[in-house]
Amino acid sequence: MTKEKITRETVQEMDQNDTLRAFRSEFYTKDNHYYMDGNSLGLLSKRAEDAVLTSLKDWKEHAIDGWTEGKEPWFYMSEKIGEKTAPLIGAKPHEVINTGSITANLHQLIATFYQPDKSRTKIVADTLNFPSDIYALQSQIEQKGLKHEEELIRVESQDGYTLDEDDIIAQMDEQTAVLLLPSVLYRSGQLLDMKRLTNEAHQRGILVGFDLAHSIGALPHQLHDWCVDFAVWCTYKYLNSGPGGVGGLYVHEKHLGQKPGLAGWFSSKKEKQFDMEHTLTPAETASAFQMGTPHILSSAPLLGSLDMFHEAGVEAVRSKSLQLTRLLMNLIHQELSDFGFQIVNPLEDERRGGHISLVHPEAASICKALKMEGVTPDYRSPNVIRLAPIALYISFEDVYDVVLILKKLMEEEKHKQFKNERGIIA
């Protein structure tokens, strides 16, 4: 932690030196409001809005011909977005496709790559993963006629918040078929060492998949070079595609050309799709892992949003994000040490994702009070407050203000007027 006192002047100077500060005006932000929840739903940008309007105009003007004749032809949009996403995850363009959701894509890729045989039947995951991933794994194991209670191994956490890579490696054995882990843990924001885990798994003949929900758009990846077998992600968090925005998947090129576990007509090679044959000719790219008609209006925002990442550069986004989260932790240390908060995310840069995770017994009521005071935090039951200072639209001074608002609220016990329990969505 820094020893020098952080003042408003300190953070104002940081803002002046911020090479990404111009991007803030591209987003719909509100005056006197601090949005710290971009790790759940990113803000709307003007470019994303324009991209949706373009697709609506294409529909208005071209009707069915919008599939091929529109300004952004819908028939090729998923591939185009895949290509634009590839640099964010260190993939080749044909290894990525915009499609589905995390849960649907996980079903697809587990159905494809989990082929239990006599010796390898187990999937290794973890006890801290997002429930939907676990449900998908459980049901895929059942689909193969096996019992998930026997075949799904969930690595335990020693502290309840983070995972030790050594514990994960210890669970990899000659019975393991697939390893599926989050890149960044959704609660604590721990960034796992994807390269090391992939290496260790491959040495034991295990296929590796990652859920990039909390890392895509927040930090760089090198999925192709690390030889990661597959990955899934959503786009409504750091990539700002909007509520229910279409997700994406990656499959390493060494696996391309094979039949998808769950096929549909959009799995086809594009030139063959409209031959309407009953024998599928799968695309030789990640396109093969699509199923049905793409959700154009929920994909289109990415065309605008991803351009900003290309202009900013994901390394610069990561560098500012690390500065923001470090500042936030230092300020919490400086201003909030009397109020019983515990930082549970890893402190080291190389083990930290894009959000800070604060534990407090009154987390639910504190989050409600923060909202009343103009700060949108993110609450995870039973006691976690997640704060995500997003590099493209949060300033260093915003972070300073948020901590001072939180301090005042705690001093005046404003949270006591709220029940310390979660709402229907939290």
Ligand X SMILES: Cc1ncc(COP(=O)(O)O)c(C=O)c1O
Stretch that binds ligand X, among 194-202, 209-217, 282-290, 314-322 (CB under 6 A): 209-217
Identify which range of 96-104, 190-198, 221-229, 407-415 contacts ligand X by CB under 6 A.
96-104
Task: Lay out the site mask for ligand X across 304-343 (x = CB under 6 A, - = otherwise).
Answer: ----------------------------------------
**Residue 351, both tokens:** 């083990």
Smallest Cα–Cα separation from 405: which of 378, 380, 379, 369?
369
Report the 10 Å Cβ neighbour count for 52: 20
The residue from 70, 182, 260, 294 that contacts ligand X (CB under 6 A) is 182
The answer to the question of residue 102 lying near ligand X (CB under 6 A) is yes
Report the distance separating Cα 96 and Cα 294, nearest Å: 15
The mark string for 223-262 relative to ligand X (x by CB under 6 A, - otherwise) is -----------x------------x---------------
Q: Which stretch binds ligand X (CB under 6 A): 68-76, 85-93, 99-107, 324-332?
A: 99-107
Lay out the sheet containing 356-359: strands in order across.
342-343, 356-359, 384-387, 378-380
Q: What is the closest distance, in whole angstroms, from the C-beta atom of residue 310 to ligand X in the complex?
A: 24
User: Nearest-CA neighbor of 264 among 253, 273, 252, 251?
Assistant: 273
Report if residue 398 touches ligand X, rule: CB under 6 A: no
- State the nearest-atom distance from the C-beta of 135 to ligand X, in Å: 10
| Contact residues for 313 (Cβ-Cβ < 8 A; gap 6+) | none
Taking the least distance from each CB to ligand X, the nearer of 217 and 282 is: 217
Instruction: Select 234 or 392, whichever has its Cβ closest to ligand X.
Output: 234
Judged by CB, which is closer to ligand X: 233, or 400? 233
Of 26-34, 206-214, 304-312, 326-334, the window that binds ligand X (rule: CB under 6 A) is 206-214
Cis, peptide link before residue 282, omega less than 30° from 0: no
Looking at the Cβ atoms of 282 and 389, the one nearer to ligand X is 389
Is 309 in contact with 67 (CB distance < 8 Å)? no
Residue 183 interacts with ligand X (CB under 6 A): yes or no: no
Distance CA 221, CA 183 (A): 10
Minimum distance of ligand X from residue 30's CB (angstroms): 23
Residue 138 as a binder of ligand X (CB under 6 A): the answer is no
Tell which one of 27, 35, 114, 186 touches ligand X (CB under 6 A): 186
> Whole-number minimum distance, CB 362 to ligand X, in Å?
24
Residue 237 or 415 with smaller CB distance to ligand X = 237
Nearer to ligand X, 367 or 406 (CB): 367
Q: Which stretch binds ligand X (CB under 6 A): 20-28, 98-106, 332-340, 354-362?
A: 98-106
273 SS3 class: helix
Closer residue to ligand X, CB minimum distance, 121 or 241: 241
Which letter, b or e, does each residue of 361-398 get, where b requires 16 or more Cβ atoms within 10 Å of its Cβ?
A: ebbbbbbbbbeeeebbbbbbeebbbbbbbbbbbbbbeb
| Span of 210-218, 328-336, 349-357, 386-394 interacting with ligand X by CB under 6 A | 210-218
User: Within a 13 Å sphere around the CA of 354, how many CA atoms are in the beta-carbon half?
Assistant: 32
Longest dimension (CA), the chain: 70
The smaller minimum CB distance to ligand X, of residues 160 and 244, is found at: 244
Q: How far is CA 398 from CA 118, 189, 318, 333, in A?
A: 56, 20, 18, 17
Residue 265 is given by DSSP the state G
CA 231 distance to own-chain centroid = 11
Distance CA 108, CA 141 (A): 13
67 binds ligand X (CB under 6 A): no
Q: How far apart are CA 78 and CA 98, in angstroms?
A: 5
The footprint of ligand X (CB under 6 A) covers 101-103, 130, 132-133, 182, 186, 211, 213-214, 234, 247
